[in-house]
Structure 1
Amino acid sequence: MTETLATELPGRDLSVQLEDIRQAKELLDGVIVRTPMEHSRALGRHIGATVHFKAENLQRAGSFKVRGAYVRMARLSEEEKARGVVAASAGNHAQGVALAAKKLGIRATIYMPRGVALPKLAATRDHGAEVVLHGSNVDEALAEAQRQAAESGAVFIHPFNNTDVVAGQGTIGLEILEQQPDVDTVIMGIGGGGLLAGVAVALKQEAARLGREIRIIGVQAENAAAYPASLAADSVVPIKGVRTIADGIAVGKPGEIPFEIIRELVDDVVTVSEDAIARALIFLLERSKMVVEPAGAVGVAALLEGKLKDLGIEASSVVAVLSGGNIDPMLMMRVIQFGLAAADRFLSVKLMLKDRPGELSTIAGIIASADANVIGVDHNPIGRDLSMGDVSIVINMETKGKEHSALVQQKLRDAGYDPLVMD
């Protein structure tokens, strides 16, 4: 083992250091779960490397957030603890703060937007926190939480822009090295940046002490990508119009503390589409039997999309952090359908037919001959684009992929029909 002098450690002047993360790990002993490292042969074959998943979706409260929340709150003074804590979140941070408060005996008030998913609302209350519904989005809930903290004297627990929070999230990096010592590339999602920043400090500084290098890659949703713009400007730049199924990383402004670290230590930040995120969720369900929320799947989405190859990275041992598993069942239903469509495994076509006996049976026979499975039919005999005696039908079917979908459409055309693929 090669020892590197402290003055040579990467990021030695940053606000969070390896020693802070080691102390955070001691604080978390007996509080959190040491989540497993799951091998993915299927994804490994796809990218030509060994791939493991750090399964924080199996963490207490369903995500990594409890790590940072507990460390932040455990370090409050007794007088601060007596005043209670306030936080705002639509899900994971809320549950992390609520669980940490319960463990520490601290009164917690969590502001959540109206319309928050019922499972997340129920889980936060089950951990003993008082939940106040306010505003139509997280930003409005956050503003109210900060106002209430200032008025009441309670301590506001920020989800990512705090050194103790960053140190707590960084404990994942230490576990990755312990569980997968040969790792050379780690990839994970970015919202405000607390997780990526903490893991980057842990891995970069510990790897330097060991005389080796580990690449760190961050991933954002294309429609919520504040970090690329900020990194290009070399300063925090807020963005507008954030909209993504990955609500856990739907953050329009990086935290100043995480940004400082990410700017210096993270090797690259890439983005992925909504389609790619949905396909990653389907992949994790089918091939790894993992229930993961969209924000937790963006690293897998990047690997499936070949982002490492695009960056010119030849990795041999990759770890993707599955940061959370708190997905609303209703959202999961929609995402599964969206993901199947994105993977060309769900085909919806509109057809014009003559309104006569046996026509629908003929169509069904053509589809069956192509080995596709009809799962729904919408029949409409009225419409501006219809002639007298015609009907419009929309047929939803399961297919086996892009080539199979094309085959089904071609068989319909060969039979004299004109299928219109529906989005």
Structure 2
Amino acid sequence: MSSCTSSGPRVFIIGAGSRGNAYAKAITAHTNGVIVGVSEPIDFKRRGFIQKYNLTDPSLICSDWKEALSPDRGLGEKVDGVVIATLDETHAEILLAIRPLNLHILCEKPLATTLPDVRHMQSSLLSGPPIIFALGHVLRYSPHNQLLYRLLQETKVIGDILTITHTEPIGHWHFAHSYVRGNWRSGAPSLLTKCCHDIDLLLWLSGETPTKISSHGSLSHFKRSKKPIKAGEATRCKKCPARDECLYSAERVYLDRNLRKGNLGWPGKIVCPEIEDAPDLLTAEKLLVNAIDNSDYGHCVYESPNDVVDNQVVLMTLGEDITATLTMTAFTEKICERLTTVYGTRGELRADSKKIEVVEFMTGETRCYMPEMDLESGHGGGDAGLARGWVQAMEMVGKGEKVEEAQKKCLGCTPEEAVRSHEVVWWAEEARIQGRTMRWDEWVGK
């Protein structure tokens, strides 16, 4: 394992897409880490990343991550940590190939898209020399949720926790963009790709391990049987007779709601990355329309090859006495502004991703907390918090601290704890498909 330089841990980014750029930005803005290299197959994205982070070592710039592992490039000596921010289904192969170098790893969630891959990766992480490992469960690390944890677990403002209800409102057009037309429309449960960090949040806030679970939900709306009659046989928005009255028409989602209001970022940049560098909105619109017309992002949401659940509830018993529910739904106006209510023996707590209210039963008083809001970092500051913890842990190891101690002190969880939410997701899916309540010991035994 390499040693951190005096200028800070050296970080190599695999995948210069939305999440790779988010982590690179957070590392640069909020830590002593230095971005020193990138692997990105798309020329446009790779060139922009090289320019943004002033990358100068050609041996640490490549289009295929496998090139970076070539012995003559010296990745193991030139880098301290690697961020894996590629498509979900590629995480397993990349992590398993990098692990023998004993470099520290930050992997975007989910860890992998199949349970065997997750277990194989966990086994690899826990064997051989220990490394600092962070999984992209950014909800743990936002200022809002850090305060929420302290109130519940350290100061115990509502006494013992008895019930947690948590809702992830994905947003109706966000779901259509990402989970019907986009990269997450099939191949893995939406509970995994969207909400594994919500499951992680519930386990973390409760301080308990799950004992029983059931789950209910289905692909309820984005399917051919729900297609408007007026749409007829149209399969693309451009020629659809119902497009002017369809919530999910590509023009409504990408142009009316976003680009025509001056938004050149997400979601349009996912459809057409070049719009961010367009000289004016008119040029950007022409580029985006062309991309929509020639990609799945212009496809009818009722005719798409999607198969993931769009409306799901998970019910868990945590430990002996805590009950918890997670509602994941596509059909909301708000986008990812999570709502959490916690009921305890001495009060109740309500959180809406911006403020936290605590009602004390004894006095009847309500106290309001307004956590710091980081508008520059994604997930309410969670991206910055995770990046900060990972880099600080690498710095501690570089100064002689044991990996296990640095991991726990800076990231707050072991690799096993980080991955546990993935097991819970597949456990919940098994319970949903079978239509019954399952015990944790029954699942682990199976």
- TM-score norm. by structure 2 comes to 0.30
The structure with the larger Rg is 1
Quick one: higher RCO (CA 8 Å, sep 6+), 1 or 2?
A: 2
